Amino acid sequence: MIVPKKWHLYIVDLEPRVGSKPGKQRPCLCIQPSEFCKAGLKSAVILPLTTKVRHQNAYPLRIKVPKGICGLIKESEILIDQVLSWDISLFRNDMGEIPDGLKASLSGALKEFLDLI
């Protein structure tokens, strides 16, 4: 079983789709501190990605991820407003850690979206 790490992209099985939540297997970013995952929790907090990219800036609701980051084959966006806590048994593949610049943008977007600044 995968032990998720913060700032890593994973392929996660999000079926079944419910309401406006994204479905199917898709890349998701783990934003939960790795220490909590190592502590034996059965779920991790994630943000799904989409390839339905908006052409205008949608910060802080979406953060663009260029094609090629962690092996992504298409430009994608992280969906900040779709925070999920998901069973780690549904995590499939570790795609790798996102770059530091993207971590900084994402941290700022999360703080703004959650009104923590």
Question: What pLDDT score does 39 carry?
Answer: 81
pLDDT given for residue 34 in this prediction: 86
Main-chain dihedrals φ then ψ at residue 89, nearest 5 degrees: -70, -15
pLDDT at 15: 83
DSSP assignment letter at 76: E
Q: What is the pLDDT of residue 38?
A: 80
pLDDT at 23: 63
Q: Mind listing the domains of the chain with CATH numbers?
A: 8-113 (2.30.30.110)
The answer to whether 4 and 32 are in contact (CB under 8 A) is: yes
Regions of the chain short of the pLDDT cut 50: none
pTM of the model: 0.91
pLDDT confidence of residue 73:
96
- Burial class of residue 113 (count of CB atoms within 10 Å of its CB; 0-12, 13-18, 19+): middle
Q: How far apart are CA 23 and CA 39, in angstroms?
A: 28
Let me know if 60 is exposed, middle or buried by CB neighbors in 10 A (0-12, 13-18, 19+). middle
The pLDDT of residue 68: 97
- What per-residue confidence (pLDDT) applies to 57? 83
